[in-house]
Structure 1
Amino acid sequence: MQEKIICFLIDDDHDDQEIFSLALNAIDEEIDCITANDGVDAINRLRRDRGFTPDFIFLDLNMLRMSGRECLKEIKKIPHLNDIPVIIYSTSSEQKDITETMLLGASDYIVKPPSISILTKRLEQVLRKE
């Protein structure tokens, strides 16, 4: 990969954050993985820090303070993020969730896989689309 990629993961599960970071690191050690522990913190940072424009936003659906759907709606209201792909990263494989989030503006949907190697391959597909 040519330039440094910044991925912003919004997920309230610290184990999932760690696994996600390890998978990105396996793709390229130069990829920055910045995390937010919930949608409220993520939205506050994205609104407050206009200099923070990640290349990709990965968003868990099932979070306590603000659901992934609510967070996605709020991200889509922030003008400087209009061109940033938001990828849902969830344990849910329900077609209803996939369809609904795509209609809300998600650009892709990843079901949390059972292994880091599968996640690594899937993330590589997403990152190489650019």
Structure 2
Amino acid sequence: MNRGKTCFLIDDDADDQEIFTLVLKSVNPAITCITANDGFEAVTRLMEEKTFNPDYIFLDLNMPRMDGKECLREIKKIDRLKGIPVIIYSTSSEQKDILETRALGASDYLEKQSSVMELRNRLACFFK
């Protein structure tokens, strides 16, 4: 049976979560989007739920409790998740953030788009 893919969005902004989820559904209705409100919540879930292995992780950088870079470090320590692409999803366009997160193991960097159509176009590239 062909199961739909699972996307794990880690972002503290409820509006960003809602927009991302709706746009993702419009790109591919078979993709399930699960959200966490910050890095600490995400890492706790990933460590405790051994069968939770999302196909993609989208990770915001600026969050309370545990920011995106620290969360990325923790995700990369979990053996079963090492092959899962982690895409940084942030408002920051700073080259320093892009280079630093790549060095930490992020597979891509997606700047938060100001238009829903642009976000849709970018997500369509990931989920062809």
- Alignment TM class, shorter chain as reference: over 0.9
- Compute the displacement of 1:126 (Å): 1.8
Letter in 1 for 2:94: E
Match of 2:119 in 1: 119
Matches within 5 A, 1:8-27: 8-27=8-27
Moved more, 37-46 or 117-126: 117-126
TM-superposition CA deviations, 1:29-64 (whole Å, max 9, x none): 121000000000100000000100000000000001
Paired residues of 1:22 and 1:116 also in contact (CA < 8 A): no
TM-score (norm 2): 0.96
Whole-angstrom CA distance in 1 between matches of 2:50 and 2:31:
20
Q: What is the CA RMSD across the aligned residues, in angstroms?
A: 0.9
Which one-letter code corresponds to 1:47 in the other structure? M
In 2, Cα distance between equivalents of 1:121 and 1:73: 28
Please report how far the alpha carbon of residue 127 of structure 1 lies from its aligned counterpart in structure 2 after TM superposition. 2.5
5+ long unaligned stretches in structure 1: none
For residues 47-102 of structure 1, the C-alpha deviation after alignment (integer angstroms, 9 at most, x for no partner) is 00010000000000000110100000000000000100000000000011000000
Which residue matches 1:30?
30
- What is the aligned partner in structure 2 of residue 77 from structure 1? 77
Structure 2 segments unaligned to the other structure (5+ residues): none
State how 1:103-118 maps to structure 2 within 5 Å. 103-118=103-118
Q: Distance in 2 between matches of 1:45 and 1:57?
A: 13
Instruction: Show structure 1 runs of 4+ deviating over 6 A.
Output: none
Question: What residue number does 2:6 align with?
Answer: 6
* % same residue: 60
